[in-house]
Structure 1
Amino acid sequence: MKASTFQTLIVGSLCLAVSGLSGGLYNQYQRVTELENANAQRLQTLDTLQRDSSALMDAQEKLQYALKDLKQMADTGEQQANTLDPMLDQWAQEIQELRDGLADRATETDMIALHARLEHVEQQLLDLKSQPPLPPPTPSSAKPKKTAQPKPAPLLPPFSVLSVESRGGERFLAVAPPDSRSLNDIQLLHNGEQFGTWQLKVLEPNAAIFAVTAHPDQTVQLP
């Protein structure tokens, strides 16, 4: 065999081998590319799942706080009801005891008057829950200099003071319109309640202090 023919065979074999290796490398490259793409998709899916999981955890935490707030509100309402119910029961019991005690020794006229007053007291007790307390007086930051000014004449109250009644350890001022002859017109005033524009501020042993709109406080002597 000639040397040129042998060289041609060698070169041809090398070309075939290189061609086969190139084809194999290309196939491996495509396989690696596919694996990389698949891995990128898996990473993207995992990232989406992590974000969804974080959002679910945040929503769960918010729901837990909301449930906690609702439980506190329910506990507070139950506590207030437990505090108010015994007070109302005690007041109702005291009113019933007053009725039972007075029924044996009172005259018919007294019973009519007391019945009207007790009904009024019962209604006031039911309204105590919704009635706002009086705001505390605001102290003045600087005391003005006292000047000699004439005292305004006391106002004539739009009612007549009948008596001071004691109910359940509390004192009430019984008043009625002037010249009234009806027992239904009798009204029991407690601190903070008012008759017309006159609001009872303090019920002292011998006098009652009233706040009157657009006027200084008025003192009414008790009978």
Structure 2
Amino acid sequence: MRASTFQTLIVGLLCLAIASLSGGLYKQYQRVAELQRTNTQYQQTLDTLQRDSNALKDAQEKLQFALKDLKQMVDSGEQQANTLDPMLDQWAQEIQELRDGLAARATAADMTALRARLEHIEQQFLEFKSPPSTSPPTPSVTKPKQTARPKPVPLSPPFSVLSVESRGGERFLAVAPHDSRSLMDVRLLHSGEQLGAWHLKVLEPNAAIFAVATQPDQTVHLP
């Protein structure tokens, strides 16, 4: 009986040892599985971080290229500005010279028109001032009195004649309003065109002939 009891005890201890070992192995298996899951999660997180790092690197390279292009554009803009500034100054000076020249021409044209009107009024005054003939007419040879036809008073154009311009072999008359000092108001008239009621008929070398409604043709001398 003692040998049997001892064997039973040995078997029981072996069973307990196997059960304990199995439980330990199972726990180790669970821990290994948990570690594998954790490792998988860490690996996924690492892959995500790697993709984000690659995307950030690509964005950084694109930003560097964009900054390089922007710097080249800024340098090119500065070069263009350095080139355009003297040209703009030169154009501004030429425009100012044109304005001054047009203002001087307009003043000369006004003085020419005023001088022509004064000469005409002076001529009329001399005609009225000259005494009439005092010899009495012969009754038998009395001639009907002829009334002198008054000379038409030249009209003053509602614009100033600036100059004569040549475009494509054609001659144009440059005119502008009296009170204008802007290049935008200058207009070029060709033969056959009109400005208001003044119709340019002929552009002669030293004068321009205008037709005005209900008035005889008007001659405007060129400056």
TM-score of the aligned structures, taking structure 1 as reference length: 0.46
TM-score of the aligned structures, taking structure 2 as reference length: 0.46
Of the two structures, which has the highest relative contact order with CA contacts closer than 8 Å and spacing of 6 or more? Answer: 2
Highest Rg: 1 or 2? 2
Higher helix content, 1 or 2:
2
